[in-house]
Structure 1
Amino acid sequence: MKTIFIKSAIIQKKAAVLLEFAFDHELKELVKTIPGAKWKTDLKAWAVPYSDDIISNLLNLFKGKAWLDYSNFKKLVDPEESQNIKLAPSSAHSLAELERFTDWMRNRRYSESTIKNYTQSLSLFFRFTGNKNPEEITNADLELFHKDYILSRNYSAAFQSLVINAVKLYFSNRLKRKLEPIEIERPKTPRLLPHVLSKEEVKAILGAHQNIKHRTMLSLIYACGLRRSELLNLKPQDIDSKRGMLRINQGKGKKDRLVPISEKILELLRECYKYEKPKVYLFEGQVAGEKYSEGSLQKVLKSALDKSGIKRPVTLHWLRHSYATHLLESGTDLRYIQELLGHNSSKTTEIYTHVSQRSLQQIRSPFDSL
């Protein structure tokens, strides 16, 4: 079966869901049965209206027809939609406050993704209060927002934490006072195990492409445990072939780190470099000097899955998870794996002990001793 990649988006100030898949007449006809479905030439994807139950509806529609990969799907807050509560448009004063908050975060070198998420969350909160003067906002306003907006719409724990963090940061650093809602408990973050591929599956994926650049990109993610953004930001000078090291600059949390790189992957990189001759980034798109896009990289993986016949809804991050798990299974100390992955806490790395075959297979069931 083919794979349909699903992600959320805002199109013309409306929440939408994008469906990306290789051309298939049957799948196209199924998509056309969805009310409001439109083909977006610029995005090379089908756009359908967003709803809270869109994923379950799509699962039912494509059951037995295609795999759905919704790892890049996020629950959206539609600014144009109201559920018993009509949000006021942002006032000039609120917009000015948001701009000052954005400048403050940017001056303190917050990542652009954090700035965007915090600004949108604070804007939503301001609009819920009717653009009340921030000096007049109290804990009661945040508690009401939590009850009547977040909980009533069944938004995720992650979204709840995001909004609380944004509001508290604004008040503590911009207005120099604490907003500590006593009626709001921090939601428990769901404990999800990472998805791991077998070495046979990894080999099939990495060997699926004849295109040298595509093969090298996927191989490097697995060979060094890279995040997608880390791969796309690499430059030729980040490779130290003499020392056998790869330098990752400003990874997640704005941290630099070094990871070992084997001669086998170096040979692949040399072959790719000779053929592609990149100008700035190690992997560039159609325009010289511009980095390869995240969407195109995702399609490279999708194509590899189709060619290798793997039906699981694999994402690029599965390769990073597999790298860490395979290292653990080969006997690498967990502290070294933490360093290689760039984790702040060892607790983050310890999650791989729960999916390692080496650890789990050593446990004998009491049934066997009966």
Structure 2
Amino acid sequence: MITIFQKNADELSVSFPYTPERVKRIKKITGRRWDPKSKCWLVPNTSGSQSQLMHEFQDEEIIWDSMTLEKTKDEKALEVQAADSNNTLTHLKKQLTLKGYTSKTIKAYLGQVKRFLEYANKDTQALDKQDVEQYMYVLLHDQENSHSYVNQTLSAIKFFFQFVLKHKPLTYEIPRPKKENKLPEVLNNEEVIAVLSKVSNHKHKAILYLVYSSGLRVGEVVRLKVENIDAQRMMIHIKQGKGRNDRYTILSEVALKVLRKYAAMEKPTDWLFPGGKENSFLTERSVQKVFSKACQEANIKKRASVHTLRHSFATHLLEGGTDLRYIQELLGHKSSKTTEIYTHVSSKSLRKIQSPLDRLLEE
């Protein structure tokens, strides 16, 4: 729980039970400082800081003191501005839907633009290139967000300027952060077995077996329907995956046995992995929690997520001699360059290279 109240006219007091993650988040707030006397964090009492706090602690319960929220003399103007922002976001959602964006992308873009509008705190028609540049600087320098996050923000704002505000493409002149050259985290064979062995729930076990054995994204596995499993052809039909593309991927015999055991007990009829609500599928967050718990119990030290199983699937296929072109098809990558990243984490070729130290000692 995060408690926020007005320390004075210029500062807000922010307190919470200590965790390293919360401290990391509060340090992203522009102008924040630690007050050792009061044993709390102090941040500027501005709408921009309030927006940052709401963003950084969006998954926490926030208790605001009734006098904390910034007041202005012209409250009517604030109400008009809030209505303008809501109407703008509604228009943005409509345009994204008309352009055929996925629900996941629509949600992400709406969140990015909403945070930008809260930071800029001005009439939408008055927004310009300088507002975008300043916001990009805050995201990169002050909040230390990843380059991929900032790039997604810029894409959302660019769409917003072009299709909602009908402005000239101002954001085309704004440089994008250089793409980070990060290699995917991969679990070795023993680590995969260790993680899978720690899952006892039949439903959860079937999910993780399918993710690893078929190279599925977490959003794809939770959206599988019973009809997507072709046991005769030993294939899985992924419908409308990332980029609204259909594809087929392999179905493991071992995974099929685990899946049949689960199906015999739960008897799913529509969604293969139904959620708690009627006519819904299991949430991605639930799968992530299951995987994280299994990793802890398996004593995995690597920073792994469910997506790590997909990376491991591709890497292990490559190390087993599968052609890169087939791996590209199974993963559903549009470009072969995306799949080629696994050549950098595969030990297949590197194992053939002898270290000069080994050669010296042998001589």
TM tier, shorter chain?
A: 0.7 to 0.9
Which of 337, 343, 361 in structure 1 is aligned with 2:333?
343
CA distance in 2: counterparts of 1:145 and 1:299, whole angstroms: 32
Mark the runs of 5 or more structure 2 residues left unpaired by the alignment. 6-13, 30-50, 57-69, 73-77
Q: Distance in 1 between matches of 2:341 and 2:145?
A: 26
Whether contact under 8 Å (2:218, 2:306) holds in the other structure is yes
What is residue 83 of structure 2 aligned with on the other side? 92
| Deviation for aligned residue 1:169 | 1.2
Give the counterpart of 1:158 among 148, 161, 183. 148
The CA distance in 1 between the partners of 2:160 and 2:308, in whole Å, is 35
Pairing partner for 2:215 from 200, 218, 225? 225
SS of equivalent to 1:302? helix
- Structure 1 residue 361, shift from structure 2 partner: 1.2
In the alignment, structure 1 residue 78 sits paired with structure 2 residue 78: no
Equivalent of 1:107 in 92, 98, 102: 98
Question: How far does residue 312 in structure 1 lie from its aligned partner after superposition?
Answer: 3.8
Shift of the 282–180 alpha-carbon distance from structure 1 to 2, 3 Å rule, reads same
Question: Given the alignment, which residue of 262, 282, 287 partners 2:252?
Answer: 262
Following the alignment from structure 1 to structure 2, what is the Cα–Cα distance between the partners of residues 182 and 217? 42
Task: Give the 5 Å matches for 1:202-281.
Answer: 202-281=192-271
Task: Please report how far the alpha carbon of residue 302 of structure 1 lies from its aligned counterpart in structure 2 after TM superposition.
Answer: 3.5
Distance 1:220 1:92 in 2: 46
If you compute each CA radius of gyration, which structure gives the higher value, 1 or 2? 2
CA contact (8 A) 1:329 1:358 kept: yes
Give 1:343 shift.
1.3
The whole-number CA distance in structure 2 between the counterparts of 1:260 and 1:196 is 20
- TM superposition score normalised by structure 1: 0.72
Q: Give the one of 16, 26, 30 matched to 1:36.
A: 16
CA contact (8 A) 1:283 1:292 kept: yes
Unaligned residue ranges in structure 1 (runs of 5+): 1-9, 15-33, 39-46, 55-75
Provide the C-alpha distance between the structure 1 equivalents of 2:317 and 2:200, rounded to a whole number of angstroms.
27
TM, length-normalised to structure 2: 0.73
Contact 1:196 1:325 in 2 (8 A): yes
Change (3 A) 1:221 1:127: closer
| Contact persistence 2:28–2:143 (CA under 8 A) | no
Distance 2:298 2:131 in 1: 54
Which residue, 336, 342, 354 being the options, matches 1:364?
354
2:27 aligns with 52
Residues 353/285 of structure 1: CA separation in 2 closer, same or farther (3 Å cut) = same
| Shift of residue 51, structure 1, vs aligned partner | 1.2
For 1:185 and 1:124, the matched residues in 2 are separated by 20
* CA distances 1:40-77 after superposition (whole Å, capped 9, x unpaired): xxxxxxx95741369xxxxxxxxxxxxxxxxxxxxx94
Q: Tell me if 1:330 matches 2:320.
A: yes
CA distances 1:60-117 after superposition (whole Å, capped 9, x unpaired): xxxxxxxxxxxxxxxx943489xxxx99964322321221111111222212232223
Task: Give the structure 2 partner of residue 198 of structure 1.
Answer: 188
Query: Which letter does structure 2 place at the counterpart of 1:156?
Result: S
**Cα deviations by residue, 1:209-229 (Å, 9 ceiling, x for unpaired):** 343222222111111011111
- Return the alpha-carbon distance in structure 2 between the equivalents of residues 287 and 183 of structure 1: 46
SS at match of 2:352: coil
Are positions 1:118 and 2:137 aligned together? no
Q: Secondary structure at the match of 2:249?
A: strand
After TM superposition, give the deviation of residue 148 of structure 1 in Å: 6.0
Q: How far does the alpha carbon of each residue in 1:132-182 deviate from its partner, in whole angstroms, 9 at most, with x for none?
A: 352x44333333444467544444323332232122212222344433358
Aligned sequence identity (%): 39
- After the TM superposition, which of the residue ranges 239-248 and 305-314 deviates more from structure 2? 305-314
C-alpha contact 1:13 1:80 (8 A) present in aligned 2: no
Equivalent position amino acid for 1:260 in 2 = I
SS of the equivalent of 1:358 reads coil
Corresponding pairs, count: 310
Between the aligned partners of 1:148 and 1:352, the Cα distance in structure 2 is: 33
The within-5 A match list for 1:106-185 is 106-134=97-125, 136-147=126-137, 151-181=141-171, 184-185=174-175
**Retained in 1: the 8 A contact 2:230–2:236?**
yes
What SS does the aligned partner of 1:91 have? helix
After superposition, the Cα gap between the structure-2 partners of 1:292 and 1:142, relative to the gap in structure 1 and judged at 3 Å, is closer
CA contact (8 A) 1:87 1:127 kept: no
TM-aligned CA distance change 1:289 to 1:279, over 3 Å: farther
Partner SS state of residue 353, structure 2: coil
